[in-house]
Every structure is written in C-alpha cells, then in structure tokens.
C-alpha cells in the first residue's frame, strides 16, 4: 500500500542545513542521505564544511563538482520561471536539486533560518543606520543629509562603510526607504535612468518601495529588527527564496520540505527579543548558541558564503558577446521601456572594467530572456 520513497537532505555546510541534518541524524536509526555541490573555486567552496558535518553524523554524503561556468542554463531558467526572475543562485539551486534527485525523492532544506533568526548581514547595517537616525529628528535629517548626499562625490567603488554619500543618503530616508534601498538591485536613481520617459509616465508615480510600505503599515512587529524581518518574510522569503526552491526542485520532480518554516517554530522565533537574534554583531545568535552542542564552532561562526555565481567575470569573458547582443539588441529596444543610452553605459562601463554592473546586467539579461520566450507565443 504505502510506497517507500527515499528521503534525504541538502547539506551545504552552512548553519541552517547543518542543523537540519544534525536533527535528522538524531531522529533516525539509519544513515541520512545528504548531498552538496562544490565549485572548483575555493572562494565559493563550502563543500569541505559540508563534509565535516557529514562525517560527524555518519551520513551517506554525496558531493558533485559543478562547472562554475554553468551559463548554458540561462534560457532554461527563463522557461522555468515564466516571469522575470533575477536571483542568479537559481543556477546552483537547480544543480543541487538535480543531484539530490539521483538518490532521493524528498529532501529537507534549511531555508528560512536567516529570516526567522535574523541571519542576514544587512540587518546589522540597517540597525546601525536606524541608530544614527534616532539621534536626529526627521525634519532636520531629510533636508540636511539629502543635500550632503547630493554634494558629496559618489564613490561606489569603495567598500560600503566608506561610502559617505550612501550614508548621508541613508540618513535622509525613513526606516522603510532605508531598508528598501539596502535590498534594491537597482537603486531608485538607477531605475530612474534605466526607464524611458514614456515608461516612467506609464508608472504614474508608482514606486516599488510601496510594496514594503504596504506590509509595514500592517506589521505587528515593533522593534526595528523585527520590522525588517517581517518585511523579508512577506517579500524576499516567498518571492525570491521559496520561488527558487519550488521551481528548481519541481524541474526535477523532487519534493523539498522546509522544517525551519514550520509555523510553530516561526511563531516562537518571532516573539524572541531582538537581543537574542542579533548580539554583538553575531546574527542568528540564539540559533548558533543552541546548536553549539550539535555542531563545531567552525561551522557556526564562520563567514557566510552562500551560493555565489561569478557573473562579473562571465560578462567580461565568456558571455561578453551574449550580453551585448541581448541587452543592446532589438528585444529590449522594441519595448520602448528603456533608455538605450543607459543600457550602453551599463554594458560598456562593466566590460571596460570601470564599474561592476554585474547585478543590473544579469537582471536585464533575464528580462530579455523572458521577453524573447513569451513574445512569440
């Protein structure tokens, strides 16, 4: 009657997936099936950390090296997502699901830990800005810092902490605008240049930040940290992360389950005081503390790597021509949505090495692929 399907887990070597695997291993009398992918480049390689956890919990661990230059997937991704979607980690996620499906039908994943327990680094930045904002009334902040931001020379090649311009601009914003700015792929200023006058008119003054204002207005969260966690749960978690995991897993007929998004756990974590989530600059503080008995400090307290894709070098090297053709070709031009001079500037400045515009270029590339695939149908 009951069909037995093999069950396993992703094991990236990060805190969340390691914690899930540790719990599974404790609960099971049989070895847990785990898998991870590795990249050739050690800067992007977490597989040795995954191997440590696998050894400790005696899992059936499977690692496969994937080619870092995995750009053949670009058109496939556009077909998978049906509408524009620009998180480039869709590529490695697709590969890890493909690998998992070779051994299991169901895999447990560690998504949601960063939203629930405040693991993202941007939360620290946001709280610092909030702290500074709290000293100066907004009536003063907006005109003074807005002006300083305009006068101060732009230095977007510098590490974020040295960018006085963005600090001044940040001070002129309110909390929601500030957080929106920190997660935006293309800032308000860049989008203003990207869109054609006709397209801007069609927007009738609509701004993407309104999505966040709408959620924030009904947010039950009160602490500054909780408020931005709430925004992430309502926007990034579902729109980016869960969409990515669903499409990547379904493309391989793999079922992924999300224990860290069990609503009982989510409810509990949301009611924790901020100091137990973010303490002394350490995100996911209580989660890591609790896991100390189960995982080595090396896993818990190292710099987060994540799945990174070497877009910047792709766009100057193997994809140089593809990017030019896609972004400067007829597909985007014919929409009338974009300012073509700015498209040229993005491509030229990136390829000449003057700027790193890899994120805007990837976002445009995926938009172009969407248009191309859906125009003809």
Partner 1 sequence: MCGIAGIFDTQAKRPIDQALLARMNQAQHHRGPDESGLHAEPGMAMAHKRLSIIDLSSGHQPLFNEDGSVVVVFNGEIYNFVDLIPELQALGHTFRTRCDTEVIVHAWEQWGEACVERFRGMFAFGLWDRNKETFFLARDRLGVKPLYYAVLDDGQLIFGSELKVLTAHPALRRDIDPRAIEEYFAYGYIPEPRTIYQQAFKLSPAHTLTVKRGQPIPQPREYWDVPFQPLVPMTQAEAQEELIPLLRESVKSAWSQRYRWGHFSPVA
Site for partner 1, residues 306 to 345, rule: CB under 8 A:
337
**Largest alpha-carbon pair distance within the chain?**
73
Torsion of CA 81, 87, 92, 97, to 10 degrees: -40
**Token pair listed for 21:** 């695997």
By CB under 8 A, what part of segment 280-299 binds partner 1? 286-287, 289-290, 293-294
What single string gives the DSSP state of each residue in 15-71?
HHHHHHHHHHHHH-SSPPEEEEEEESSGGG--HHHHHHHHHHTT-EEEEEEE-S--G
Q: Which is nearer to partner 1, 12 or 249 (CB)?
A: 249
Please name every residue paired with 245 in a beta bridge, in sequence order, or none if there are none: none
Taking residues 68 to 107 in sequence order and writing x for each that binds partner 1 by CB under 8 A, - otherwise, the string is --------------xxxxxx-----------------xx-
Q: Which is nearer to partner 1, 73 or 211 (CB)?
A: 211
Three-state DSSP class for residue 339: coil
Taking the C-alpha atoms of residue 129 and residue 138, their distance in angstroms, rounded to an integer, is 13
Q: Which is nearer to partner 1, 41 or 223 (CB)?
A: 223
Three-state DSSP class for residue 79: helix
Q: How many CB atoms lie within 10 A of CB 298?
A: 11
By CB under 8 A, what part of segment 18-37 binds partner 1? 19-20, 23-24, 26-30
Least distance in angstroms from the C-beta of 168 to partner 1: 21
By CB under 8 A, what part of segment 164-203 binds partner 1? 180, 183-186, 188, 191, 194-195, 199, 202-203
Q: Which stretch binds partner 1 (CB under 8 A): 42-50, 56-64, 151-159, 366-374?
A: 366-374
One residue of 72, 253, 321, 353 binding partner 1 per CB under 8 A: 253
Residue in 143, 166, 170 with CA at minimum distance from that of residue 153: 166
One residue of 239, 306, 317, 329 binding partner 1 per CB under 8 A: 239
Least distance in angstroms from the C-beta of 25 to partner 1: 9
Q: Which stretch binds partner 1 (CB under 8 A): 46-54, 66-74, 229-237, 309-317?
A: 229-237
Q: How many CB atoms lie within 10 A of CB 361?
A: 23
Q: Report how many residues bind partner 1 under the rule CB under 8 A.
A: 98
Q: Which stretch binds partner 1 (CB under 8 A): 47-55, 126-134, 157-165, 243-251?
A: 243-251
Least distance in angstroms from the C-beta of 232 to partner 1: 11
Residue 301 in contact with partner 1, rule: CB under 8 A: no
Taking the C-alpha atoms of residue 297 and residue 285, their distance in angstroms, rounded to an integer, is 13
């Amino acid at each position: 009657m009951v069909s037995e399907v093999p069950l396993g887990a992703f094991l990236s070597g990060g805190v969340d997936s390691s914690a899930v695997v540790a719990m599974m291993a404790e609960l099971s009398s049989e070895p847990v099936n785990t898998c991870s992918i590795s990249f050739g480049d050690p800067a992007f390689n977490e597989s040795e950390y995954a191997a440590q956890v696998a050894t400790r919990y005696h899992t059936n661990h499977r690692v496969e090296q994937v080619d870092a230059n995995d750009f053949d997937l670009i058109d496939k991704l556009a077909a998978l997502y049906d509408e524009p979607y620009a998180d480039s980690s869709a590529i490695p996620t697709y590969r890890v699901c493909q690998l998992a499906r070779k051994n299991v039908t169901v895999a447990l994943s560690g998504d949601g830990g960063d939203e629930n327990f405040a693991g993202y680094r941007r939360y620290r930045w946001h709280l610092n800005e909030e702290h500074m904002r709290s000293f100066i009334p907004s009536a003063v902040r907006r005109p003074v810092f807005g002006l300083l931001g305009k006068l101060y020379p732009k230095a977007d090649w510098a590490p974020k902490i040295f960018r006085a311009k963005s600090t001044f601009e940040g001070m002129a914003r309110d909390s929601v605008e500030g957080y929106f700015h920190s997660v935006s792929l293309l800032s308000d200023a860049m989008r203003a240049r990207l869109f054609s006058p006709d397209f801007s008119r069609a927007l009738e003054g609509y701004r993407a930040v309104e999505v966040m204002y709408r959620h924030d207005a009904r947010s039950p969260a009160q602490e500054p940290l909780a408020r931005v966690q709430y925004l992430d749960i309502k926007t990034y978690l579902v729109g980016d992360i869960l969409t990515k995991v669903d499409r990547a897993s379904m493309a391989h007929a793999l079922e992924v389950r999300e224990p860290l998004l069990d609503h009982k756990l989510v409810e509990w974590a949301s009611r924790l005081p901020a100091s137990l989530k973010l303490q002394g600059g350490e995100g996911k503080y209580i989660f890591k503390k609790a896991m100390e008995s189960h995982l080595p400090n090396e896993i818990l307290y190292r710099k987060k790597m994540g799945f990174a894709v070497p877009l910047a070098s792709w766009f100057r090297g193997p994809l140089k021509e593809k990017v030019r053709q896609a972004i400067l070709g007829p597909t985007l031009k014919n929409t009338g949505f974009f300012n073509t001079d700015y498209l040229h500037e993005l491509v030229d400045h990136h390829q000449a090495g003057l700027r790193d515009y890899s994120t805007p270029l990837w976002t445009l590339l995926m938009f172009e692929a969407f248009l191309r695939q859906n125009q003809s149908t």
